[in-house]
Amino acid sequence: MKGKSMWTLSIDIGGTYIKSALIMDTQIREKRQIETPKTDKDNFILVLVELIRSYQQIEPIEFVGFSVPGAVKEASTVFFGGAVACLNEVNLKQEIEKHLPVRVFVENDAKAAVLGEASFGHLKGIENGAGIILGTGVGVGLLLDGQVRKGPHCQAGEVSFLIQDRGINGAGSFAGINLSAVRLVKELAKLFQCEPEGPLVFDYLYQKEDDQAQTLYRTYCNQVAILCFNIQCLLDLDKIIIGGGISKQKRLIRDIQKNYEAIFSVSPMIEQTITKMTIEAAAFESEANLIGAAKGVRLNEISN
């Protein structure tokens, strides 16, 4: 195919799935999803290269934006790839551009989601906000004074390591495990003896009177609400959006908001001191990362 394309290929690498699509602003087409391969770095890169080549059969792709777990240094090197361990210390831009004549942009998944929402979604026009992305792990993207905050070490928002159990007895003491939406779905699926598919599991949850499942769900919503409250105490935000596939569950978003508001009733001092913020689902739900990665490509090209 000849000529330059206005479409950007966005690839969102998660611990469970790799999602991809062609993006132009908020237009999305050719959406695909494959399981994230459990392999070494070289084979993982080849999987990505073949994925890009398959899109090049239908569109003359010039730009590719990646949304990835972990901190992304300015040179597009991923540090701590989260559930995708083979990405650790990999310069993804360099690796892809060795194989293909494309220009690559790489961003942390939560920061990409916030960039997408700030450009086109529910954080548009918001000066100070955040996005909590609930997936295999949990990530936070921060929008402060109208800019996505990265931090001097590109680690702003790495809340997976927030301590939730002061005993610190292992990985379960940290937010990354406790707030994993994938883990929640798997645990509920075990109780319902069904496949660990989000929509199916939540249908069972809303229909069945299972005390153990309801307790698990309520605890999860409360933990996310506590995270929202703690972030608000630190940063004084106007809004937090919830992203990831689980954000499609409108009742879950409402229950997080209810738990958040209930914290203010614990003491009159809280309500007198801390301003309540809005909590809502990301406008683009699980696709916010893809849209943000594509936006990052365009901003990066303009700045260069």
C-alpha 291/C-alpha 298 separation (Å) is: 11
pLDDT for position 166:
77
Portion of the chain with pLDDT greater than 90, in percent: 78
Q: In which band, very low, low, confident or very high, does the pLDDT at 207 lie, cut at 50, 70 and 90?
A: very high
Q: What is the pTM of this model?
A: 0.92
Rounded CA separation 251/236 (Å) = 25
Average pLDDT for residues 262-278, to the nearest whole number?
A: 96
State residue 106's pLDDT score.
96
Residue 3 predicted with pLDDT over 70: no
Confidence band for 82, pLDDT divided at 50, 70 and 90: confident
- List all residues 6 or more positions away from 57 whose beta carbon is below 8 Å from its beta carbon: none
CATH architecture of 8-109+288-303: 2-Layer Sandwich (3.30)
What is the pLDDT averaged over residues 152-156? 90
Closest by CA position to 284, among listed 82, 156, 119: 119
Q: What is the pLDDT of residues 8-36, one digit of tens each?
A: 999 999 988 999 999 999 999 999 999 99
The whole-number average pLDDT for the span 204-221 is 94
In this predicted model, what pLDDT tens digit does every residue of 28-78 receive, in sequence order? 999 999 999 988 999 999 999 999 999 999 999 999 999 999 889 876 888
For the segment 267-273, the average pLDDT, to the nearest whole number, is 95
122-281 matches 8-109+288-303 in CATH topology: yes
DSSP string for residues in 41-100: HHHHHHHHHHHHHHHHTTS---EEEEEESSEE-TTSEEE--TT-GGGTTEEHHHHHHHHS
For residue range 218-254, list pLDDT tens digits in order. 999 999 999 999 999 999 999 999 999 999 999 999 9
Q: Is it the case that residue 281 has pLDDT exceeding 60?
A: yes
Percent of the chain past pLDDT 70, that is, above it, reads 97
Per residue in 99-136, pLDDT (tens digit) is 999 999 999 999 999 999 999 999 999 999 999 999 98
Please give the Cα distance from 97 to 48 (Å, whole number).
Answer: 11
Q: Which tokens in the block code for residue 284?
A: 């683009």
- Quote the CA–CA distance of 244 and 19 in Å, as a whole number: 12
Give the residues across from 19 on adjacent strands: 12, 33
Burial 217-235 (b: 16+ CB within 10 A, else e): beebbbbbbbbbbebbeeb
Report pLDDT for 256.
Answer: 98
**Which positions ≥6 away from 288 have C-beta within 8 Å?**
112, 113, 114, 116, 117, 121, 131, 133, 241, 243, 282
Domains of the chain by residue range: 8-109+288-303, 122-281
The per-residue pLDDT of the chain, averaged, comes to 93
Amino acid at position 227, single letter: L
By C-alpha distance, which of 143, 279, 156 is closest to 221? Answer: 279
Query: Which range among 181-185, 205-209, 213-217 shows the weakest confidence by mean pLDDT?
Result: 205-209
Q: Which CATH number fits domain 122-281: 1.10.10.10, 3.20.20.105, 3.30.420.40, 1.10.3260.10?
A: 3.30.420.40
Tell me the DSSP string of 94-115.
Answer: HHHHHHSS-EEEEEEHHHHHHH
171 φ, ψ to 5°? -60, -30
What's the pLDDT band for 302 if we cut at 50, 70, 90?
A: low
